[in-house]
Structure 1
Amino acid sequence: MSILPFQSDCSELKARAFLLGHYLDLRRLDQFEPLATNPVVVAVSKHGYAVLLRSGAVVLFGVHSDDEAQFIQKLRTLVKEPLDRTEHEELILMIDAERVEGIERERLILINTDIARLQVIADILGKSVLLAEQEARVAAAFDRIEPLANHLQQVGRGGSDARTLIRHIGEALAIQQDMVGRGEVGDKPEVIWERPDLERLYLNLEAEYEIRERQLALERKLALISDTAATLLDLLQNKRSLRVEWYIVILIVVEIALTLYDLFFHAAST
């Protein structure tokens, strides 16, 4: 068990999580020396550390504000698709070897600051900021899809084109991909399999931040968005199919009329 050295007189630490972008390219860590992997832990200052997550989140432990800004600036070269608005989360850690680990009065009690514990905490905080960003995206998607559903209710037909509807479906799929693939929201971190004694800490934090509940709520909303867009797209395609059928019928009628006219013209001329 490797315990990270924070200030000797420090019994309270601040953990701050930031979602910087859609992806952190952890293959380009030449300027950092990892202290651990899966997820990556690096030193930030004499008494501060950071956990870097592939989801685009970084979680800082015991880092002063000046060092925090400089470190995040260094990370910018690793960030893919930076976000316009940075999501963040904060948690106070109380270090006390004599107490039971768990959440107490909005603080997390820890018996020590070994790397594995900080990795578990970073995993939860990283998922929380990722879910916050996805919740904002889903809310915006709802605002765009709601007028289309209202138009269908009031007028009885869809009020958008196929390209717009396909974009709505694509956006819902992209958000799901971010949660499942990029953020691994429904998965336990690898460190839990190596340190099963930390599973209780992980489950307590998961319940505190309502990770599973928020994931399920997002999945329901995304399913509704996809179903609404797919229904409107089906109606639009059926309308177009019916229009094509009418065009075919009209062409047949015109062809018959021309044939009858031709027959009548020839009969009259003879």
Structure 2
Amino acid sequence: MSQLIQNGHTILTVRAHLLGRHLDLKRLGHLEVLATNPLVAPIGEHAHAVLFRSGAVVLFGVDAAQEAAFIEEIRPFVRDPLLQPEHEDLTILIDPIRPEGLERDRLVLMNTELARLQVVADILGKSVLLADQEARVAHAFDRIEPLAERLRRHGRGVSHADTLIRHIGEALAIQQNMVGRGEIGDKPEVIWERPDLERLFLNLEAEYEIRERQLALERKLTLINDTAGTLLDLLQSKRSLRVEWYIVILIVVEIALTLYELFFRGAGH
């Protein structure tokens, strides 16, 4: 069950998905909107979906059939869908008496008002996005590490600039997803309207290590960019040196031809 009553308290299940690189919210005009920034849409009578431009969708109190139907409904509006979508689950206990925050393996909330769900969804959406970016960066490291090792052992990197440019492009794309669409370092707009929810947001942000993961990714992306940039500079310097040698050889050949011509002209006279 996605929602049940236990010892007089409501237990709500939450699942966050990262479906692709971008979700076109402007084309979801057919959905009923309960709140914006982030967008909240109802599913059935009691369930909710929170949707993000980053491609993340967070579902509250949705059963398996509703989840499958809703994802299928919005799939046409997902750009660059992931072959293996990231997902993360969370259980919420609704208790107006206990302090809000993570308690063992579940989150305690005072109630299920939309603003609170938006704060929770913001963190879960960022968490699944970071998980995807972490996998992409790890893959990028695996590809660029042999190039750096080749430079260390043999004093040369790659012979084609296209390979290095692709590495730089991948790093820039990851940064764009995190900072641009994912807004990893930003607070959700609902916090500015509801400052009383900032403590909940900060607690969740710390529990999911959002900022720490972001900083770790930025350091790795900087290293990838620096490595690829250094190898590209070396490759271009090598090509420039090769062009200079070609010019020198052409000059020498031209001088030799001139001397040859002068010699035979002089010998003919």
Report if TM-score (shorter chain) is over 0.5: yes
The one-letter code matched in structure 2 to 1:93 is I
Structure 2: which amino acid aligns with 1:72?
A: I
Following TM superposition, by how much is the alpha carbon of 1:7 offset from its aligned partner in structure 2, in angstroms?
Answer: 6.7
1:253, distance to aligned residue in structure 2 (A): 0.8
List per-residue Cα deviations over 1:4-55 (Å, max 9, x = no partner).
xx77765110110000111111112233111111111111122211111111
Query: Where does residue 178 of structure 1 map in the other structure?
Result: 177
Read off the aligned partner of 2:79 and give its amino acid letter: K
Q: Distance in 1 between matches of 2:159 and 2:136?
A: 21
How many Å apart are 1:138 and its aligned residue? 0.5
The letter of the residue matching 2:246 is Y
Q: State the partner residue of 2:68.
A: 69
Letter in 1 for 2:134: E
1:21, 1:159 → 2: CA distance?
Answer: 32
Cα contact 1:148–1:160 (8 A) shared by 2: no
Within 5 A, what are the aligned runs for 1:35-114? 35-114=34-113
Letter in 2 for 1:202: F
Contact 2:16 2:59 (8 Å CA) reproduced:
yes
CA deviation string 1:187-233 (max 9, x = no partner) = 00000000000000000000011000000000010111110000000
SS at match of 1:49: strand
1:217 corresponds to which residue?
Answer: 216
Compute the TM-score of the two structures, normalised by the length of structure 2. Answer: 0.96
Q: Does residue 240 in structure 1 map to residue 205 in structure 2? A: no
The offset of 1:78, in angstroms, is 1.7
Cα distance in 1 between the residues matched to 2:41 and 2:92: 19
- 1:34-87, CA deviations, whole angstroms, 9 ceiling, x for partnerless residues? 111111111112221111111111100011111111111111122111111110
Q: Whole-Å Cα distance in 2 between the matches of residues 27 and 212 of structure 1?
A: 29
Q: How does 1:29-40 map to 2 (within 5 A)?
A: 29-40=28-39
Q: Which residue of 2 aligns with 1:28?
A: 27
List gaps (5 residues or longer) in structure 2.
none
Pairs within 5 Å for 1:107-122:
107-122=106-121
1:230/1:264 CA distance change after superposition, 3 Å? same
The corresponding residue for 1:148 is 147
Alignment partners' CA distance in 2, 1:97 and 1:160? 64
Counterpart AA for 1:269: G
Secondary structure of residue in 2 paired with 1:23: strand
**Secondary structure of 1:201's aligned partner:** helix
Letter in 2 for 1:33: E
Assess if the C-alpha contact under 8 Å between 1:168 and 1:225 holds in 2. yes
* Structure 1 letter corresponding to 2:34: L
Amino acid at match of 1:152: L
Match of 1:3 in 2: none
Runs of 4+ more than 4 Å apart: 6-10
Inter-partner Cα distance in structure 1 for 2:146 and 2:4: 55
Counterpart code for 1:164: T
CA distance in 2, matches of 1:91, 1:261: 85
Task: Give the equivalent residue in structure 1 for 2:197.
Answer: 198
> Is residue 9–residue 95 contact of structure 2 (8 Å, CA) maintained in 1?
no
Amino acid at match of 1:133: D
Q: Are the equivalent residues in 2 in contact too, given 1:7–1:47 (CA < 8 A)? A: no
The match for 1:208 is 207
8 Å CA contact 2:4, 2:12 repeated in 1 = no
How many pairs does the alignment contain?
A: 265
Name the SS for the 1:214 alignment partner.
Answer: helix
Tell me which moved more, 68-77 or 115-124: 68-77
Corresponding residue number in structure 1 for 2:16: 17
Q: In the aligned structure 2, how far is the partner of 1:51 from the partner of 1:96?
A: 22
Change (3 A) 1:223 1:230: same
